Each structure stands twice: as structure tokens, then as C-alpha cells.
Amino acid sequence: MYQGKTYTLDSLYKKVSKNMKKFPTIQGKYASIKVLTKKGLEVKIVFCSIENAKKWGAVLSTYMDLSSEEILKIYTKRLSIEPFFKECKQHLYLGKEQCRNFDSIFAQRERNCSYKIYLSCRNLKI
């Protein structure tokens, strides 16, 4: 709910797209808006888009005291970690350990992380 009315995410984006600010580090723009959910929870929605692109994304945060830039930095870090674990699960069988000994499980996780770093460096030809 925004200003007493219910909106879709797309219509909220159209409202804030006129007031978008530029990112200092990348070629993109962002804007944020504070809304109430149907359950009465106040949230901050940060919209972002890359310049010369029609696609946009939205990040919802319950941390009202964080700036839009901080919210986007946190989510950028989080989203870069998720593919790492996805690849480890798919290709290195992370989480498929057959033992119950904590030290063995920890050693397998360490080995998986080392393999992932090795494979990443090999793909980048470092």
C-alpha cells in the first residue's frame, strides 16, 4: 500500500522511475520507495536498472534505516554467493556426504571449496 492505495510492483516502478539516481560505480540507476504490506509491515523496495536496458529489478528490505545503496550492496554480495553453492551442489556434490563424523564432513566441505576455487581459476585462465 502506497499513499493509501494498492499498487502492483510494475506500477510502483513507473512511479519512481522518473526520480532514479545514478550509481557511482556502475552504469545503472536506482530508486526506492517505502510501502506497507497487506499485513501492515513497513518495507522498503529498491528498484534498479542498468542504463540503456528495459529490464529492471526490485529488492525488498525490512531494514528501513539502511540506505538504498547499502541494501543493493548487501544483496549483490548475497547473490554472488548463491551461484557458488549451486555449482558446488551440482558438480561437486556438496551436502551428499555419507559419513556422520563432523571432522570428515568439514574436510569434504573444505575440499569442495578448494576444488571450486581451482576450477574458477582454470576457467579464468589465471
Residues 84 and 116 in one domain: yes
Residues 53 and 88 in one domain: no
What pLDDT, on a 0 to 100 scale, did the predictor assign at position 26?
67
Q: What is the pLDDT of residues 56-111, one digit of tens each?
A: 888 899 988 988 888 888 887 777 777 777 877 777 777 776 777 878 777 877 87
Question: Cα 9–12–15 angle (5° rounding)?
Answer: 155
Asked if residue 91 is part of any domain, the answer here is: yes
**What range defines the domain where residue 85 resides?**
79-124
Residues 44 and 90 in one domain: no
Using the 3D structure, point to which of 41, 67, 93 is the last residue of a domain.
67
Residues 26 and 60 in one domain: yes
Using the 3D structure, point to which of 39, 67, 95 is the last residue of a domain.
67
Measuring CA to CA, how many Å separate 123 from each of 88, 100, 110, 119? 15, 33, 20, 6
Using the 3D structure, point to which of 19, 44, 67 is the last residue of a domain.
67
Asked if residue 1 is part of any domain, the answer here is: no
What pLDDT, on a 0 to 100 scale, did the predictor assign at position 43?
92
Q: What is the pLDDT of residues 1-11, one digit of tens each?
A: 677 778 888 88
Q: Among positive and negative, which fits the CA dihedral 82, 84, 89, 91?
A: positive
Total tally of structural domains belonging to the chain: 2
Mean pLDDT over 32-55 rounds to 85
Asked if residue 88 is part of any domain, the answer here is: yes
Asked if residue 3 is part of any domain, the answer here is: no
